[in-house]
Amino acid sequence: MTSTTGALLGPGREFERIRTLLADLPAAPGVRVGPGEDDAAVLADGLVLSTDLSIEGVHFRLDWITAEEAGWRAAMAALSDLAAMAAAPVGILASVAVPGDGDLALPVMAGVRGAASRVGAPLLGGDLTRSPGPVVVDLTVVGRTEAPLLRRGARVGDEVWVTGRLGWAAAAVRDWLQDRSPIPAAREAFLRPTPRIAEAQWLVAAGATAGLDLSDGLAGDAGHLAAASGVAILLEARALAGLAPPGLEGLDLTLHGGEDYELVVTAPPGCLGPRVEEFVKKFHLSVSRVGTVEEGQGVLLLPATGEGAAPVPRGGWDAFRDATEPKP
Amino acid sequence: MTSTTGALLGPGREFERIRTLLADLPAAPGVRVGPGEDDAAVLADGLVLSTDLSIEGVHFRLDWITAEEAGWRAAMAALSDLAAMAAAPVGILASVAVPGDGDLALPVMAGVRGAASRVGAPLLGGDLTRSPGPVVVDLTVVGRTEAPLLRRGARVGDEVWVTGRLGWAAAAVRDWLQDRSPIPAAREAFLRPTPRIAEAQWLVAAGATAGLDLSDGLAGDAGHLAAASGVAILLEARALAGLAPPGLEGLDLTLHGGEDYELVVTAPPGCLGPRVEEFVKKFHLSVSRVGTVEEGQGVLLLPATGEGAAPVPRGGWDAFRDATEPKP
């Protein structure tokens, strides 16, 4: 879970360096997609595996949300990696550590189970132990797919589409950090993300060429897609404006906020446009064209003002990207 | 990882109650063996899954062992759940949290990778994040088996066999707790357990009827086997004496010490006896007959003195089973 809150409360650049170092794994026999390449590993037989660690004080705070909400969010964030691969859930394993006599494990697990049953993922195992301090929730998700949605595969000329609204979860985090109460829609977006599993499968069947879930903010995740596919992603500010939370910082939150757990996909021109209504009716969720795939590299933004496209600065939210370490 | 050290430093009875409560899972479709029933879940297609959480200050202390040793032990303990099911490793996923700038992640992951490659389990994924305090290592192991070794299946008249020596890891923990240096063989047993995966597969092929790995001590784990199979297990003190660490507490450590990660299996009479030499030659490891399966329930001990068998008292090590909570 590389994420807004993780980044907000958590590691700095040195940590990212080590994370990158450890993600550089040798290819193993029987592994179709390695874990460093995409959101999850895909084995030769279509088994999809991913693991996601959430820690109190780093990924969530129990003065912001309840223990049950923390369990729900942790499970949903993990299950979103199955959506990122367009994999059907096989199940989830939950390791939980709580301080004291263990009472907190019950609401945490109630949240995990609620989220898992929401997407039809049975609990396949778990471990419960005492924590000397923070609540720890580690979820491993298991899924299956014959046609994984990969980060690589976007082609020049493809359109870029996203599901839902973006930046609302980050708006809640921003408000909490500034000791303000978030608006209900933002709080709800943070607390109750929904893995877009069926949506991802629909988009693959409809012809999506590449994609992933939005955990790090659209700019960062579109950057992953661009790098893996060897292309540039051009985003249009005018299209994003309709998805952003209210306020002056709306576009910045949309681009850099993270933890939306919506999807970004690329698809051939004209492929999804005629089917928007069908998607909305089926999933009660919007799907919006927000840009195009171009030759080049990185993520560019076409401003609403009509000026030329410019590279999206990495980390518009650097100012509070890391509340615990000095800026470099 | 319900274990000596876990129990030593960790949870009390209330915690165990909650653990039991959470393990009581509804049967899910496609699940052949549920996680509450055995050491790991087994899906209909033979996929085996288990997860095992280790936390600094609860399961290990970095003044006893190095970060690399902690990673190795955590991985080996998790992989031992594959041995418990006689499953071939498919891979392992590692979630790690470390304090500070992340440097400790490198030796922890070196230990995890070393242990995993020792048994041919590729690293399939992972997560690395900052911890606000303790080092956290959560491992999910994935395996496959057509013929799982289950806790149920022992039949009255079967013999009871164990691999290797028992109680040596617990002897090291006892010494550390008493501020003494453990003898090298005990320290090694604690630091470098080896999952008996190939051994378990051999024993199943040779006719073992039931079994599991020894993580909680022979008395406790034989008790799991007895309960799942609806039988009593009669252990012979004379046979155990040859496996125990030196000293007056040897038998007690063997019965209650935990974290040996050897195997206990049951097999029809005469099935394994003639093949001991073959086993020893193949695996450079002893295999010993230590008792029989009887009608009844629970675990009984036949004293070396020739007196009648008596139920094994639960927790000879209660005196330091929980160093952090008052005795009930």
Per residue in B202-237, pLDDT (tens digit) is: 999 999 999 999 988 999 999 999 999 999 999 999
When pLDDT is averaged across residues B249-267 and rounded to a whole number, the result is 93
pLDDT exceeds cutoff 90 at A186:
yes
Per-residue model confidence as pLDDT tens digits over B132-185: 999 999 999 999 999 999 999 999 999 999 999 999 999 998 998 899 999 999
For B179, phi and psi rounded to 5 degrees?
A: 55, 35
Which of 96-135 (B) contact A at CB < 8 A?
96-97, 101-103, 105-106, 109, 122-134
Asked if A14 and B101 come within 8 Å (Cβ–Cβ), the reply is: yes
Measured CA to CA in angstroms, residue A61 lies from A73, A126, A131, A135 at distances of: 12, 23, 16, 10
Which of 234-253 (B) contact A at CB < 8 A?
none
By percentage, how much of chain B surpasses pLDDT 70?
A: 89
Measured at the CA of A285, the angle between CA A305 and CA A280, to 5 degrees, comes to 95
When pLDDT is averaged across residues A126-136 and rounded to a whole number, the result is 92
Cβ atoms B66, B131 nearer than 8 A: no
Give residue B259's pLDDT.
86
Nearest CB among B52, B90, B127 relative to A127 is that of B52
User: How does the average pLDDT of chain A come out, rounded?
Assistant: 88
Q: Which of A98, A54, A107, A110 is nearest to B11 (CA)?
A: A98
Q: Which residue carries 């009509």 as its tokens?
A: A306
Give residue B248's pLDDT.
87
Least Cα separation, residue B146 to chain A (angstroms):
16
Q: Which of A20, A25, A33 is nearest to A152 (CA)?
A: A33
Give residue B325's pLDDT.
33
pLDDT exceeds cutoff 90 at A325:
no
Give residue B6's pLDDT.
36
Per-residue model confidence as pLDDT tens digits over B24-37: 666 677 888 887 78
Return the beta strands (E) in chain B as ranges: 31-33, 41-43, 47-55, 88-98, 123-130, 136-144, 159-163, 210-213, 232-236, 263-267, 287-294, 298-302, 310-311
Q: Which of A216, A169, A212, A186 is nearest to A316 (CA)?
A: A216
Give residue A59's pLDDT.
86
Nearest CB among B51, B124, B134 relative to A31 is that of B124
The DSSP secondary structure of A49-73, one letter per residue, reads: EEEEEEEBTTTB-TTTS-HHHHHHH
Nearest CB among B22, B31, B102 relative to A15 is that of B102
Give residue B30's pLDDT.
81
Per-residue model confidence as pLDDT tens digits over B98-113: 998 888 999 999 999 9
Per-residue model confidence as pLDDT tens digits over A31-75: 888 877 888 999 989 999 999 999 999 888 898 899 999 999 999
Per-residue model confidence as pLDDT tens digits over A224-262: 999 999 999 999 999 999 999 998 899 999 999 888 999
Out of A16-30, A99-113, B265-279, B291-305, pick the least confident: A16-30
Q: Radius of gyration (Cα) for chain B, nearest Å?
A: 19
Cβ neighbours for A248, distance < 8 A, ≥ 6 positions apart: none
Work out the pLDDT band at B12, boundaries 50, 70, 90: low
Out of B9-18, B223-232, B295-304, pick the least confident: B9-18
**Spatial distance between the Cα atoms of B77 and A96, rounded to a whole number of angstroms:** 17
Furthest CA-CA distance within chain B = 60
Chain B residues inside the 8 Å CB shell of A119? none
Nearest CB among B25, B53, B142 relative to A95 is that of B53
